[in-house]
């Protein structure tokens, strides 16, 4: 597994894709970009390979012949924390939410280029668990405590379980307490990908983060949306 902000010298990828016309050229293109790529054409083969070979990241197609990729993702999440990027032709927002809820770290919508997928892979790998020794100390905002070193969060003394992406999103907002942070900045700084007007990634992750903090967009405590601009993190006392 990858830790800190350092990428492995060679990232070991597992590509689970049943369509040979996609799988073969995509694997070749990712190898040309410096990755070590193994491939599987079915869900159960992919699950076995993920557990046996312990790749740094899995690229998962949803339309597999033996099992829906979303169900495979749930099975994988029950036994492994390996980062997963879902590659799908399903581009409606409800499906994206289901995929993220099932444990995906990111998603790309087909058709996509190898360069686009490579950028997503590198961004996800940079967000591996664990912090570096030089990070800022614990941030306290009202009853919210954010520890970059241990990557732990608590709210009113109770631990809050966040995914790596949710933690990175909250930590970035914590570096700009009281300021409005745009979605463009969040995509660039947290996801490290170019801003796309149709990309719902930030909205979906904010929704899940709010839920874990016990609030909603309609009744915010810490995360306040500024319509048409972005979001700001403030303590409930400051917001009031």
CATH number, domain at 55? Answer: 3.40.50.2300
- Residue 123 has a pLDDT of 82
In degrees and rounded to multiples of 5, residue 194 shows phi and psi of -65, 150
- Residue 194 has a pLDDT of 62
- Residue 102 has a pLDDT of 80
- Residue 239 has a pLDDT of 64
Query: Do both 148 and 219 map to the same domain?
Result: yes
- Residue 4 has a pLDDT of 39
What range defines the domain where residue 212 resides?
A: 139-239
In degrees and rounded to multiples of 5, residue 79 shows phi and psi of -130, -5
Q: What is the 3-state secondary structure (H, E, C) of the chain?
A: CCCCCCCCCCCEEEEECCCHHHHHHHHHHHHHCCCEEEEECCHHHHHHHHHHHCCCEEEEECCCCCCCHHHHHHHHHHHCCCCEEEEECCCCHHHHHHHHHCCCCEEEECCCCHHHHHHHHHHHHHCCCCCCCCCCCCEEECCEEEECCCCEEEECCEEECCCHHHHHHHHHHHCCCCCCEEHHHHHHHHHCCCCCCCCCHHHHHHHHHHHHCCCCCCCCCCEEEECCCEEEECCHHHHC
Residue 67 domain-assigned (yes or no): yes
Residue 20 CB burial class (10 angstroms; 0-12, 13-18, ≥19)? exposed
Residue 2 domain-assigned (yes or no): no
Number of domains in the chain: 2
Residue 1 domain-assigned (yes or no): no
- Residue 195 has a pLDDT of 57
Query: Do both 54 and 81 map to the same domain?
Result: yes
CATH number, domain at 200? Answer: 1.10.10.10
Distance CA 70, CA 92 (A): 15
Residue 133 domain-assigned (yes or no): no
pTM score = 0.57
Query: Do both 97 and 151 map to the same domain?
Result: no
Q: For the chain of 240 residues, list the mean pLDDT of each consecutive stretch of 10.
A: 46 94 94 93 95 92 92 88 87 78 85 88 71 57 86 91 89 89 84 62 91 92 90 82
Integer CA distances (angstroms), 179 to 125, 143, 170, 185, 235, in order: 28, 19, 13, 12, 12
The phi-psi region of residue 130 (left if phi > 0; otherwise alpha if psi is between -120 and 50; otherwise beta) is left
- Residue 198 has a pLDDT of 45
């Amino acid at each position: 597994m990858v830790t800190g902000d350092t990428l492995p010298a060679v990232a070991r990828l597992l590509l689970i894709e049943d369509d040979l016309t996609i799988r073969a050229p995509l694997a070749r293109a990712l190898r040309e970009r410096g990755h070590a790529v193994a491939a599987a054409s079915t869900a159960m083969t992919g699950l076995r390979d993920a557990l046996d070979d312990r790749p740094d990241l899995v690229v998962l197609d949803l339309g597999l012949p033996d099992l829906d990729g979303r169900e495979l993702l749930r099975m994988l999440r029950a036994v492994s924390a390996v980062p997963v990027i879902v590659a799908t032709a399903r581009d409606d927002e409800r499906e994206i939410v289901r995929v993220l809820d099932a444990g995906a770290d990111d998603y790309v919508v087909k058709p996509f280029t190898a360069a686009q997928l490579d950028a997503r892979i590198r961004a996800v790998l940079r967000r591996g668990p664990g912090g570096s020794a030089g990070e800022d100390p614990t941030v306290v905002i009202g009853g919210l405590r954010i520890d970059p070193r241990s990557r732990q969060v608590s709210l009113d003394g109770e631990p809050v379980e966040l995914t790596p992406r949710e933690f990175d999103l909250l930590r970035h907002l914590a570096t700009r307490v009281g300021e409005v942070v745009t979605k463009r900045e969040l995509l660039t700084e947290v996801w490290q990908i170019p801003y796309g007007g149709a990309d719902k990634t930030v909205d979906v992750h904010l929704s899940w983060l709010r839920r874990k903090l016990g609030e909603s967009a309609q009744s915010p405590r810490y995360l306040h949306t500024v319509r048409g601009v972005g979001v700001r993190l403030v303590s409930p006392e400051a917001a009031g």
